[in-house]
A and B are shown apart, each in its own frame.
Chain A
Amino acid sequence: MRLAEAWRVAIDALRANRLRSVLTMLGVVIGVAAVVALVGIGTGTKGQIEQQVEGLGSNLLLVVPGRLEAGSAPAASTMDLDDVEAVARVVGDRDRVAATIASGETVRAGSRSAFASMQGVLENTPDVFVRKLDRGTYLSRTDVTTGRRVAVLGAGTATTLFGDRDPIGRQITIGGVRFRVIGTFERLGQSLGVDRDSEVHVPVTAAQRLLGTDRIDGLAIRAPDRERIGQLSTAVVKVLTDRHPDTDFSAVTQEQILGVLGDILGVLTGVLAAIAGISLLVGGVGVSNIMLVSVRERTKEIGLRKAVGARPRDIGVQFLLEAVLLTTIGGVLGMALGVTAALLVDRFSPVPAAVTWWSLALAFGVSAVVGIIFGVVPAQRAGRLDPVVALRTE
């Protein structure tokens, strides 16, 4: 009953000073909106990247020379195709081991040109990394063994070079060397700001000849099952280290990549949330201020309520509710604004944003807590007012 009265009075007080209530809420609205929108962008980005890493297929093991540690520069590769054979023997299935040598090259078709990542690969690449063709065919075993100059284009590169025309069977040059297009990939989109459709796949042998090397950059292995990844990883690193005693090799699983990316993006999201949290804090200080004004304005009312039997607690709860109401209404409005902002960003900018229930719950919870924290001091002041002094106030 007393609580119901406190609610009624709090709502009434906010209504009586509509403009002031709205202005006070604004700080909380902006703070909560910032939390929801920025956390949405953080989680959206993280989700997109996770999806893309998972899109590589499951049970994937990437093997590169050098130690995979933060801050260490990528080491120059000493691996070649013989190492691929050796690793394939360890794995026991040649089709599960992909090799890559990559280089940024200018690709031309007639008068048009595009900058693309040329990937010298084996014929099994679409199976190891899950890649789907849009048109034509992929590289064959023979293409790889004979070093035939054929190419499969990423969707972006194909569009840049050929527009709407069918690229299959047409001639292109990569780094000045002529290749024939035999297929195109389905569109993939962006990942971490990198356009994954600006690619050209050619036989690894052809790429090596073009680049004047017999090295490869790295290996990827699709493990037959999840349980054997660890064991496989150790065996692969061992066979490579035996063959190249002076070089370190690292094998990382998809989970490890996800873990590292997740950590980085988690920190990023945290920083964004902290920035947003500060504006929420500023909003809270505004609430505190207005509540103190409200207590002063209603000193006589407090005195009267006490005279007719309100305990200090009853008065305190009434003002605390008023503060919490201010911040939670502000919180709900801020959530609406933040969700709208996140959806707009997601829709109209390249930055992905995903609104999660937990961020909404958090924002609402935090706004209520801000109300309690910043409402406590004014509420206590109101509760402790001496009724005689309060009644004398005019």
Chain B
Amino acid sequence: MTAPAIVATDISRTYELDGVSVPALRGVSLTIEPTDYVAIVGTSGSGKSTLMHLLGGLDRPSGGTLLIGGRDVAGLGPAEMAKLRNETIGFVFQSFHLLARTTARDNVALPLVYRGVGRRERRARAAEMLERVGLAHRLDHRPNQMSGGEQQRVAIARALVTEPAVLLADEPTGNLDSATGQSVLALLESLNDDGVAVVLVTHDRDVAARARRRIVMKDGAIVPLAGEDA
């Protein structure tokens, strides 16, 4: 097996809110392997999103060391972090975060813009990716012309178009009905089978149970589970 995609060692994150320190994450250590499928569960406010933001290089830890794609984020500036995210990470959000006035194809192509890929190739790769998530017939639809499940598939295609090492999905089914949610999760599982590491925040116990690894968070820390390799 190749080098781990993400290595977090004793990372913490403390928010400063009106002079009050809010410790959202306290000493989390976690390694994401290139073929991992990790489910993160935990109560609301336990620090799941904070952890996802750190793993994805959207934020930097207040303490500990974090290696993304082998690079220590402590030494990186905002522009380098942006490049790192673009090359290594794909994000999927609970509320899709698609650009409203933009077609599915152009939404998916967006990360390639910031990679400097030409328009023709961007459009070709976006179409290919939409086909892979089963939306070949929705290329020129805008978000408001698509169902929630379709929108989330577009978001997943967008996360995949840069061929990232890790796909981070923070409650991707939170805004979907259960049947649609199931199909989105099935898609994520099939992507994982194709070799993309997936880290998933979910409330669904069945989904969590199907994951290769399960991580439970509480009060900003990982709860050690008997009988599981956390």
- Please list the residues of chain A having a beta carbon within 8 angstroms of any beta carbon in chain B: 1-2, 4-5, 12, 16, 300-301, 303-314, 386-388, 391, 394
Contact = CB atoms under 8 A, between A and B. Distances in A.
A388 B58 contact: yes
Given A16-B101, A388-B53, A391-B97, A309 B83 contact: yes
B111 interface: yes
Contact of B114 (A16, A301, A308): A308
Given A304-B97, A387-B58, A311 B53 contact: no
Contact of B93 (A305, A306, A391): A391
A214 to B, nearest CB: 89
A388 B91 CA distance: 12
B111 A312 contact: no
13 contacts: A304-B99, A308-B86, A308-B110, A308-B158, A309-B85, A309-B115, A310-B82, A311-B78, A312-B78, A313-B79, A388-B58, A388-B59, A394-B95
A12 B99 CA distance: 12
Contacts of B58: 306-307, 387-388, 391
A391 B93 CA distance: 9
B82 A306 contact: yes
Nearest to B87: A309
Q: How would you classify the secondary structure of chain A's contact residues: helix, strand, loop or mixed? A: helix
Contact of B111 (A309, A311, A391, A394): A309
Residue in A12, A300, A313, A388 whose Cβ sees the most chain B Cβ within 10 Å: A388
Contacts of A386: 59
Contacts of A312: 78-79, 82
A12 B86 CA distance: 24
B227 interface: no
Interface stretch (B31-39, B116-124, B174-182, B216-224): B116-124
A307 B158 CA distance: 11
A2 B113 contact: yes
Contacts of A303: 97
Contact of A305 (B59, B78, B101, B110): B110
A391 B49 CA distance: 11
Contacts of A308: 85-86, 91, 110-111, 114, 158, 162
Instruction: Pick the most buried of B58, B82, B97, B110: most chain A CB atoms within 10 A of its CB.
Output: B82
Contacts of B59: 386-388
A391 to B, nearest CB: 7
B56 interface: yes
Interface in B68-86: 78-79, 82-83, 85-86
Contacts of A12: 101
Given A4-B119, A388-B58, A388-B59, A310 B101 contact: no
